A and B are shown apart, each in its own frame.
Chain A
Amino acid sequence: MDFYLGLAQVIGIHTLLGLSAWCVLHTGQVSIAQGAFFAIGAYTAGMLTSMWAMPLAVALAFGAVMAGLVAVAMGFPALRVKGLMLVVATTAFAEIVRLFFFNLKWRVQTPTGEVGPDGSLGFGGIRHFPANGWSTLDVNLLIWALVAAVMALLWWLDRSRVGTLWRAVGEDELAAQSAGINLTATKVSAFGIGGCIAGLAGGLFAHYATHIEHHNFTILLATFAIAYPILGGLASLAGTLLAVIFIQGFLLEGLRFIGEWRSLLFGVLIVVVMLVRPNGFLSRALFRSRHA
């Protein structure tokens, strides 16, 4: 049972990560920086609870806001370029952030010993959950409550004016601009909200894992983040959740019996889905004839 509860935590955190990429993808942009915002949230929240004994809610909120602010600050210069150039720009940003945490060394004395990020050795001792007697089930409830809240927020945003703007820019930038939509504001808002969600996911991850290091936040993580909504289909939020459950639950855990070869399947799966259903698995065309 513990195994499934642990798996549910991973699925919840990755769903948040996928939803953060969903926001940015909705405006037609591909960002490899989601892993970096995740890292910022993870380090910020982890440092606040372990080094200065802040309450968890404050730490998570601060991590999310911090990641969102960095996303907005980074969004202004980066969104001068679009399409493929943005992929390269965000890749570079992701590497900068990862290398920053690789070099970050900030240790403080606490009643339970010295804690803090220790350069390449990583950042251990984020023991807020065990120290305060949270069971795995409690952690799960917290994660899934946050997933539900974020999903409800995005569902509402998607139906509000903001969602309309995001989709208009994503469908056709030129047309959106002609209709008087402020492209920069629209894209930066999607970037900022996506950054906040990724930061929240990162904060949860840091406390779930108790030990984080720069290796957790490579471009591979960002690839997962954008793969979930793209494979699931951008038309619905459920697509992202479905893709996370499929990849984390079935592909990486369910197929454990075929051994290490299953990590190969992730790459193959992306290629196959792009060949068979290039608009994602839950794209609208699933219920319509192909030639309609």
Chain B
Amino acid sequence: MDLLDLIDLTQSVVDGVLFGATYALIGIGFTLIFGVMHKINLSYAAASIGATYLSLIVVTAVPTPLVYAFAALMGGVLGWLVYLICFRFVPLNNPLATLMSTVGMLLAIEELISHLTYGMPQNYPALFGNTNFEIGPFFLRGDLIFVFALGCVAMIGLTVLLKRTRLGLATRAVAQQPVAAQLCGMSVNTTNASTFVIAGLLGGTAGAMAGAAIGVLSPLMTLPLTVKGLVVTVIGGLGSIPGAIIAGLVVGGAENLFQFLRGVSERDIYVMLLLFAFLVFRPGGLFAAPGGRD
């Protein structure tokens, strides 16, 4: 491999890591909900893409940054609706029940999107699409940098929310010990619902980021994003937010690395094998949450 190949390789890995911020946000959403409820919300990525689609309603009326904000807002609303429909009134002691109800929601959202848009991909606005930075032999796309920065802002915002506010305190308390939290006067249902709203805000942002980086929205994005989000959650360790961030960037980079080495049709095989290796050799993930969880 000569120098030119090496530059191309580094370039595609860097692009992948920048786009990996999207996976990190989706992974955080899965992990947050797992943290408080010990349940996986499989409809999460679909709801996030759904929120991004909803933000297309205002795309002609307001400037692009507000479109992204609207996507995040819709993500919060959808998160609350998903909680209400798939979790609130379903018996939580039956592990199959919420799994199936969220799968049903995932399929319903995907179908709804394809029907309402007649299966046509929709254009999504990008910021700094024409700005590029050249650093030595490398070439950084402005829109990817923006997506990465937006992801970082969302992650910092989440950390502040969890560590500095009363709502964050309640979320962490319920995650640690729901019964004790309830005895201290916190409403578990309200906290669960607000966690879904927070995760939804992140999901809407992630959907907008994916849309901005790819340039189009399509219902075909929901399943890959769900699978990648789950991969990130497991590699990072269920319930661990720093784990999800690092795993998201790693998966983004690895994806482009394998794409460079083996071509686009084979790349996901290797990403899945990476996950399998983690499951066999380190089932707790990079940062396993303390306490024996499954």
Binding site for B on A (CB under 8 A): 25, 30, 77-78, 80-85, 87-89, 91-93, 95-96, 99-100, 102-103, 120, 218-220, 223, 226-227, 230-231, 260-261, 263-264, 266-271, 273-275, 278-279
Contacts and interface: CB of A to CB of B under 8 A. Distances in A.
B108 interface: yes
B101 A93 contact: no
Q: Identify the interface centre among A77, A87, A271: most chain B CB within 10 Å of its CB.
A: A271
A89 B103 contact: no
B156 interface: no
A268 B108 contact: yes
A7 B92 CA distance: 37
Contacts of A96: 269, 272-273, 276
B32 interface: no
B40 to A, nearest CB: 5
B21 interface: no
Interface of B: 34, 40, 85-86, 89-91, 94-101, 103-112, 115, 223, 227, 230-231, 233-234, 238, 265-266, 268-269, 272-273, 275-276, 279-280, 283, 294
Contacts of B268: 95, 99
A263 to B, nearest CB: 5
Determine the main DSSP class of B at the interface with A.
helix
Contacts of A279: 94
B244 to A, nearest CB: 13
Given A270-B107, A278-B91, A260 B115 contact: yes
Contacts of A269: 104
10 contacts: A88-B234, A96-B276, A99-B266, A103-B265, A219-B227, A261-B115, A263-B111, A267-B108, A268-B104, A275-B90
Contacts of A100: 269
Contacts of B103: 223, 227, 267, 270
B101 A87 contact: no
Given A270-B103, A271-B86, A92 B238 contact: no
Nearest to A222: B103
A264 B108 contact: yes
B107 A274 contact: no
A82 B294 contact: yes
A83 B265 contact: no
B111 A264 contact: yes
A279 to B, nearest CB: 7
Nearest to A269: B104
Contact of B95 (A83, A223, A261): A83
B243 to A, nearest CB: 14
A270 B98 CA distance: 10
Contact of A88 (B90, B97, B231, B273): B231
A84 B40 contact: yes
Contact of A271 (B91, B94, B108): B108
A95 B280 contact: no
A274 B238 contact: no
Nearest to A266: B107
Contact of B107 (A220, A231, A275, A278): A220
Contacts of B276: 77, 89, 92-93, 96
A271 B294 contact: no
